[in-house]
A = this chain, B = another copy of it.
Amino acid sequence: MPNLGIDIGGTYARAAVVDDAGKVLGAGKVALHDRSPAGVVESIAKAESEAVLNAGTRDIRFCGVGVAGQLRGDTGIVAVAPNLGWREVPFGDLLSARLGHAVRVVNDLRVAAWGEYRVGAGRGAEDVLMVAVGSGVGSAAISRGELVLGHDGVAGEVGHIKVVPGGRRCGCGELGCLEAYCSGHNLIAQMKEAIFSGLYRTTLGDRVGGDLSKLNPLVLETAAADGDALAVEIHERAGALLSVAIANYVTILNPARLILGGGVLLNCPGLFKRVVQGVETHALRLSARGMTVHMATLGDDSGIIGAALMANPALAATLLDPPAAPPMKAQGAG
Contacts of A172 in B (CB 8 A): 284, 286
Contacts of A289 in B (CB 8 A): 152
**Which residue from chain B places its CB closest to the CB of A291 in the assembled complex?**
B151
Q: Contact mask A149-187 → B, CB, 8 Å, 1/0?
A: 111111111101110010000001010010000000000
**Which residue from chain B places its CB closest to the CB of A289 in the assembled complex?**
B152
Contacts of A150 in B (CB 8 A): 127, 143, 253-255, 287
Is B174 touching A285 in the complex (CB atoms < 8 A)?
Answer: yes
Contacts of A240 in B (CB 8 A): 165
A106 vs chain B, min Cβ distance (A): 16
Is A126 part of the binding interface, using a Cβ–Cβ cutoff of 8 Å? Answer: yes
Contacts of A324 in B (CB 8 A): 256
Is B162 touching A244 in the complex (CB atoms < 8 A)?
Answer: yes
Q: Give the residue among A151, A152, A172, A255 with the most B Cβ atoms within 10 A.
A: A151
Seen from chain A, the residues whose Cβ lies within 8 Å of a Cβ on chain B are 70, 125-127, 139, 143-144, 146, 148-158, 160-162, 165, 172, 174, 177, 240, 244, 247-249, 251-256, 282, 284-287, 289-291, 318, 323-324
| 26 A-B contacts (beta carbon < 8 Å) | A143-B148, A143-B149, A144-B146, A144-B323, A146-B146, A150-B253, A150-B255, A150-B287, A151-B255, A151-B291, A152-B254, A152-B287, A152-B290, A157-B252, A157-B286, A158-B252, A160-B251, A161-B251, A161-B252, A162-B248, A162-B282, A165-B240, A165-B282, A174-B284, A249-B252, A256-B324
